[in-house]
């Protein structure tokens, strides 16, 4: 999951999506993926600013909330 975030931080979104799809296709639940991404975000040192880290965490929280409301799409 750390590779996914590193790819996002570099602007390599296709690489990040490909990595997420590999994990998703292994049968992991989207909520589990978001929880893991959130934990990794909290400990990664690659974020240039704390504000950027908080923005990523905010977006992950929004995705988790929508998923718990019933939206289970990969998008």
pLDDT digits (tens, 9 = 90+) for 18-65: 999 999 899 988 888 899 999 999 999 999 999 999 999 999 999 888
pLDDT reading at 11 higher than 60 = yes
Domain count, the chain: 1
* Domain limits for position 18: 2-68
- Is 4 in contact with 20 (CB distance < 8 Å)? yes
Whether 19 is covered by a domain: the verdict is yes
Whether 73 is covered by a domain: the verdict is no
CB atoms < 10 A from the CB of 47, how many? 16
Whether 60 is covered by a domain: the verdict is yes
Please report the pLDDT score of residue 29 as a whole number.
86
Average pLDDT on 8-23 reads 93
Angle between helix axes 30-43 and 2-10 (nearest 10 degrees) is 70
- Is 53 in contact with 47 (CB distance < 8 Å)? yes
Please report the pLDDT score of residue 8 as a whole number.
93
pLDDT reading at 75 higher than 60 = no
């Amino acid at each position: 999951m750390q590779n996914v975030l590193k790819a996002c931080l570099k602007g390599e979104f296709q690489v990040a999506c490909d990595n997420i799809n590999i994990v998703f296709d292994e049968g992991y639940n989207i909520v589990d993926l978001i929880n893991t991404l959130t934990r990794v975000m909290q400990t990664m040192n690659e974020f240039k600013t704390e504000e950027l880290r908080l923005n990523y965490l905010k977006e992950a929280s929004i995705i988790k909330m929508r998923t718990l409301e019933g939206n289970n799409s990969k998008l």
